[in-house]
A and B are shown apart, each in its own frame.
Chain A
Amino acid sequence: MVRAFDSNYLNGGQKLAIKYFSVAVILFFAQLLFGLLAGLQYLHPDFLHGILDFNVNRMVHINAMIVWMLYGFIGSVYWFLEEESGHEVVGLKLGNLGFWLLTAAVTVVVLVYLLVQTGPGNDFTRWFINEGREYIEAPRWADIGIVIVMLIFFYNVAMTFARGKWSGIAGVLTLDLIALAGLYLAGMFYVTNISIDQYWWWWVVHLWVEATWEVLVGCMVAWSLIHILGARRKIVETWLYIEVAMMFGSGILGLGHHYFWAGQPEYWLAIGGFFSALEPIPLVAMVVHSIYDAGVHHLRNRNHPALAWIIAHTFGNFLGAGVWGFMHTLPQVNLYTHGTQWTSSHGHLAFFGAYATINIAFFYLAVQRWRGDVWMGANLVGGWRWKWALTLLSVGVMGMTIALLIAGYEQSFIERAQGGSTWSAYFAAQTHPWFVESMAWRMLFGWVTVAGFVLLVWDLLTVGKYETRPVEALAEEPALTSA
Chain B
Amino acid sequence: MMENIPFWASTNFWKKTAIWVTAGSFVVLIFLTFDTMRQTMAGSVRVPDYTVINRHIDYRYDDRQRRSIPVIGGEAPLFGKIMDASEAEKWVTLGKKTIQAKNCMNCHTLLGNGAYFAPDLTKAWLDPAWGPETVRPQLMKMFLMDPEGNARTYGSGRKMPNLGITEEEAKGIIAFLKWMSSINTNGFPYNFKTGG
Interface on A for B, CB 8 Å cutoff? Answer: 38, 41-42, 45-46, 49-50, 53-56, 58-59, 117-123, 125-126, 129-134, 137, 168, 172, 190, 192-199, 234, 237-238, 241-242, 244-245, 248-249, 252-253, 255, 258-269, 271, 335-336, 338-341, 343-344, 411, 416-417, 420-424, 426-428, 430-431, 480-483
Contact = CB atoms under 8 A, between A and B. Distances in A.
Given A252-B26, A263-B47, A426-B119, A241 B15 contact: yes
Given A198-B113, A341-B116, A421-B191, A50 B28 contact: no
Contact of B103 (A132, A168, A199): A132
B39 A264 contact: yes
B193 A50 contact: no
A55 B93 contact: no
Q: How large is the interface on B (under 10, 10 to 19, 20 to 34, 35 or more residues)?
A: 35 or more
The 10 closest A-B pairs by CB, nearest first: A121-B98, A132-B100, A427-B154, A261-B188, A421-B189, A339-B112, A55-B106, A241-B14, A252-B25, A125-B101
B101 A58 contact: no
Given A335-B190, A421-B190, 9 more contacts: A49-B159, A133-B105, A134-B113, A134-B115, A241-B18, A416-B190, A420-B191, A426-B119, A427-B154
Given A238-B14, A249-B21, A423-B119, A195 B47 contact: yes
Contacts of B191: 416-417, 420-421
B22 A245 contact: yes
Interface of B: 1-2, 4-5, 9-11, 14-15, 17-18, 21-22, 25-26, 28-29, 32-33, 35-37, 39-42, 46-47, 50, 89, 92-107, 109-117, 119-120, 123-124, 127-129, 153-159, 161-164, 166, 169, 172, 180, 183-193
A481 B22 CA distance: 32
A118 B103 contact: yes
A417 B96 CA distance: 30
A56 B103 contact: yes
Contacts of A234: 2, 11
- Identify whether the interface residues of A are mostly helix, strand, loop, or mixed: helix
A262 B183 CA distance: 8
A132 B190 contact: no
Given A261-B112, A344-B116, A244 B103 contact: no
Contacts of A267: 32
A250 B96 CA distance: 33
B112 A338 contact: yes
A131 B92 CA distance: 17
Contacts of A58: 106-107, 115, 117
26 contacts: A45-B153, A45-B156, A54-B115, A121-B94, A123-B97, A133-B100, A137-B106, A168-B11, A194-B96, A194-B110, A196-B40, A234-B11, A238-B10, A241-B11, A241-B17, A242-B17, A245-B18, A245-B21, A265-B35, A265-B39, A335-B188, A422-B127, A431-B156, A480-B1, A480-B2, A482-B1
A25 B15 CA distance: 35
Contacts of A263: 40, 46-47, 111, 183-185
Given A265-B39, A431-B154, A420 B192 contact: yes
B41 A196 contact: yes
Given A192-B93, A248-B18, A263-B183, A134 B40 contact: no
A128 B21 CA distance: 40
A168 B12 CA distance: 10
Contacts of A126: 97, 100-101
A134 B106 contact: yes
